[in-house]
Amino acid sequence: MKLDKLDMLRGFAALYVALGHWVDCNEATPFIIRQALRFGQQSVILFFLLSGFVIYIATSRAENVPFRDYFIKRFRRIYPVMLGAFLVSFIISFIDGNFFELFNVKVLIGNLLMLQDYGTDKPGLWFTYFMRNSPLWSLSYEWWFYMLFFVFYKFLIRSPYRLLTAFMISFVSAITYIIYPNHASLVFAYFIIWWTGYEAADVYFKQKTFTFQNMKWLIASNFAILALFMVYQFSQHQIESAIGIEAIIVKKPIIHFSTCVFFLGFGLFWWRFQLIGFNQLMGVFLYVAPISYALYVLHFPILKIWDLYKYFDYKESILNMVIVNSIRITVLITLSYLMEIKIQPIINKYLK
């Protein structure tokens, strides 16, 4: 089963993140464009929702799938392209001459085990993303969402309490993260966002429509965890101001859960108006969807880290900017196409 609108959104989100990082490293980009493209992490929340929706489609007609088969399908979808991104980072760092400065064996192992995160202002970081490729942070979340989903698939998929179970896992994990910041707790605190996509798909295919009535518990679940983080941050800020005890920062979770609630609310609003203008506005991104995953994990080292300007005498030259960015974009699109369209089917064929 294939829904073009999902692919349009997937293509949009991937291209939006890539463009945001691209314009951020081009000083000539107008301020208003930079501001319009600064919500890359919010786009990742859209990825999570779409992923949960798609897993419903992928598993709704299959029963009693062995974990081995399920694991291999998830592995071959995520790992080969991710390893390709590692290889690209290796090559670029060698070209730029900073491989030994950037390469870290522990970080590599942490990323291979899907334990990486974005740690600029997120306490409890175990491993950072590999060789400065920041979009890799979200893959650890996606991977463990898949692993936890299999438990639901085997034991809870027909339970009337599955949404409540998913919410309680996330709510308790959010509390444990506040008490003892750690990556595992934060990942499972976010599980409800991904699971919201699954439940939204269930609503769509069974009721053929979205209403506030059939979506209210999904909105409420995400809002409850958002409220938990907000109340904690506000109360700790008050205590910190009064007696000087430093609080952990939960800015990112607040932003991410706010984004999820916004997407659900805005989606309901747009649905009420029959998604008017959706295809006209988003249709072009359907062409990006087939390479969206590779585009997402490859763009950062190619567009932002790769130092091509060192081969030119005048960095500020408009001609040099055109040449450099033309090379970067050509390489990015070519590699994304090769990985997703040419190599991935071969991997799917032989890794069964």
**CA 57 – CA 202 distance, rounded (Å):** 9
Q: What pLDDT was estimated at residue 311?
A: 75
Radius of gyration of the chain (CA): 21
Q: What pLDDT was estimated at residue 76?
A: 94
- What sign for the dihedral angle of Cα 233, 135, 51, 349? negative
Q: What pLDDT was estimated at residue 224?
A: 97
Which residues in the chain show pLDDT less than 70?
1-2, 120-121, 237-248, 313-316
Q: What pLDDT was estimated at residue 298?
A: 97
**CA 348 – CA 73 distance, rounded (Å):** 8
- Residue 289's Cβ-count burial label (10 Å; 0-12, 13-18, 19+) is buried
Q: What pLDDT was estimated at residue 72?
A: 93
Q: What pLDDT was estimated at residue 243?
A: 43
Cβ partners under 8 Å of residue 30, min gap 6: none
Q: Show the tokens assigned to 122.
A: 């997120």
Express each pLDDT in 147-174 by its tens digit: 999 999 989 888 999 999 999 999 999 9
**In the 8-state DSSP scheme, what is residue 343?**
I
What angle is formed at CA 84 by the lines to CA 78 and CA 89, rounded to 5 degrees?
Answer: 125
Q: What pLDDT was estimated at residue 245?
A: 47
